A and B are shown apart, each in its own frame.
Chain A
Amino acid sequence: MLVPLYGFLEGDTLGLVVLVHDDDRVHAIAEQLQLAACVRVAPRTHAQVYFRGQRLDPELTVSEAGLAPLDRIDVVPEEKG
């Protein structure tokens, strides 16, 4: 099932709507959002995904992480990336 999420990449100037599948891994959301925002923010190899202030395990699936349509997630690139 497709899940539209509001994604906010640290360093970017706006939020984007990213469409993910409920069985996608959390790390894939970070990659997808970074790709979507790459016009404005250079992608990094490593990034963390946050939901309601909590860092999500990158190996969880979207549904396992409890993400539902139109939730807000934040992606924070890591310096080392």
Chain B
Amino acid sequence: MPKLKRDDWIDLARKLDWDYSYVREEDVFPEILSGRPWLPHAEWQHWDEPYRTSYEDYVNTQSDKDAIFHGVREAVGRIEDFAKLDRSWLNGLKLHAATMAFTEFGAGLGDIRAARFGRDSAWRTMALFGALDEFRHTQIPLLLMHELVGWDPQFDWTHRLFHTNNWMAIAMRHLVDEMCVGTDPLEFAIATNLVLETGFTNLQFIGLSAVAHDVGDRMFEKMVTSIQTDEARHAQIGHPVIATLIRHDPERAQYLVDKWFWRSWCVFAVVTGFSMDYLTPLAARRTSFKEFMEEWITDQFQKTLTAFGLKRPWYWDFFIEAIDIYHHMVYASTYTYRATVWFDFALPGPEERAWLREKYPRTWDMLDPVWERITERWRTSGPGIEWSTQGATLPGFCNLCQLPMSNGTPRANAARVVEHRGRKYIFCSEPCAWIFSREPERYADHKGVVERILAGEAPANVVKLTREYFGVTADVRGKDMLIGRYPWLRAHRNEPGSEV
């Protein structure tokens, strides 16, 4: 008997919805689990996406991808291969691996919920594949980095970060729990599939992948390329979901896009902004983080918004200004609190600062004095003295994004205090305050680092806080990458053996 052609049977295998006889549709797909606005299936029945993957297609393709990945790992994924890489890049890798591995796991949980409560069977099928994808994306960095732990214990934080109370873990969990773990498939599809995967992950898959090629990290390049092919497929879930949402509740569609664009931006500015503008060796930098954002995120995102008839987020002007400065503010701040994290930092020298000035002409004059001050303190203390360039006073953290209070500029920090039901909250920016104000019941009970200290749940002393609460022990704590032993610092000090 001849086999049917794929297009002749695929819809039979993916369009499996039927009319319920013994239960109500609202009970099979309750609004709290499926998302709002609740719509009858008739409104979702034309849900479709271009990949139209069957299970057989999926298994065969993934099997091939994994075979290629393991082949690459055998060839270039050993300790000796990583040991050849530039030290600053390796530290970007530690940051990236730790923040992303369990974000992917969270996305897998969101996809599983969508595989049950998504409103069309084709959506549910794609979400199931998406879940399998995301668990793969969790396992790949865990596998790769685990092998490096014996060589450099900071890589242990690939697995460890999300299981600690480190301030960056609190920020990441706050985001991932809301975006993936504790949300409905509808919001998940907008937040993750649409905003994150068709927008911000370009920073990883195109931007950092190209940089990885230039610094010679073939393993990272192949890892993100392999992951990208999965993301490109399951990212398609977002488009038909938002198209339906816009037809029925355009205000909510706009709200979800605005909210998740901002929340995604804050985290990616730190993870990718640090990597592109500070933890990539100068010779391998093709474009600045800002240039990449402008080309691959803001332009692309605006096209997506236009295609769906949505407006740019209300905070767009503030966001455009933030691209010029926010990640610089956080990097300079975190450099001086580097012992609170699990990776090392590069001190930008004269050449790096000249490059940053050229790339950020509008804002660098406000930031350079901070680096001059830090550099001056290194010159005074001499190399090897970590404490003289580290802060000992507790930083403030935003009650929404949970990141340091570093929005705005050094001249005008954008933080604001808001009172809600007798409790004071501080937000790093107007968009973070706005997100809180739209759904305060969702966020109001969460305690940030400062509230935990005031409640006696965490020590107030920064050294104790770092060691006992953040979980950063002496063997992994972040340092200056060269502990101040930069040739250009020696040259300035006119020390014996100075390189001029």
Contacts and interface: CB of A to CB of B under 8 A. Distances in A.
B410 interface: yes
B424 A11 contact: no
Interface in B385-412: 388-396, 404-406, 410-411
A13 B333 contact: yes
Nearest to A40: B370
B426 interface: yes
Interface string B441-462: 0000000001000100000100
A4 interface: yes
Interface in B409-456: 410-411, 413, 415-417, 424, 426, 450, 454
A71 interface: yes
Residue among A6, A13, A69 having the largest count of chain B Cβ atoms under 10 Å: A13
Interface residues of A, dominant DSSP: loop
Contacts of A39: 336, 373-374, 377, 388-391
A17 B410 contact: no
A48 B390 CA distance: 25
A18 B416 CA distance: 16
B279 interface: no
A41 B370 CA distance: 6
Contacts of B336: 39-40
A48 to B, nearest CB: 15
B416 A13 contact: no
Contact of A6 (B328, B330, B377, B405): B405
Nearest to A71: B417
Nearest to B366: A11
A15 B424 contact: no
Contacts of B374: 39-40
Interface in B315-336: 328-330, 332-333, 336
Interface in A24-81: 36-37, 39-42, 69-72, 74
Interface residues of A, number: 24
A62 B343 CA distance: 39
B396 A10 contact: no
Contacts of B369: 11, 41
A4 B454 CA distance: 9
Contact of A14 (B333, B367, B388, B390): B333
Nearest to B337: A14
B393 A11 contact: no
Interface in B136-190: none
Nearest to B372: A42
A56 to B, nearest CB: 16
B333 A72 contact: no
B370 A15 contact: no
Contact of B411 (A6, A11, A15, A69): A11
A6 B396 contact: yes
A16 B415 contact: no
30 contacts: A6-B405, A6-B415, A11-B411, A12-B370, A12-B410, A13-B330, A13-B332, A13-B367, A13-B370, A13-B410, A14-B329, A14-B395, A14-B404, A14-B405, A14-B406, A14-B413, A15-B404, A16-B393, A16-B395, A17-B393, A39-B377, A39-B389, A40-B370, A41-B369, A42-B373, A70-B450, A71-B417, A71-B424, A72-B426, A74-B413
What 9 pairs across the A-B complex have the smallest Cβ distances?
Answer: A15-B405, A36-B393, A14-B333, A15-B396, A70-B424, A17-B394, A13-B329, A13-B332, A8-B413
Given A11-B369, A12-B413, A36-B393, 13 more contacts: A4-B454, A11-B370, A12-B370, A13-B330, A13-B332, A14-B395, A15-B406, A18-B393, A39-B373, A39-B390, A40-B333, A70-B424, A71-B417
Interface of B: 328-330, 332-333, 336, 367, 369-370, 373-374, 377, 388-396, 404-406, 410-411, 413, 415-417, 424, 426, 450, 454, 460
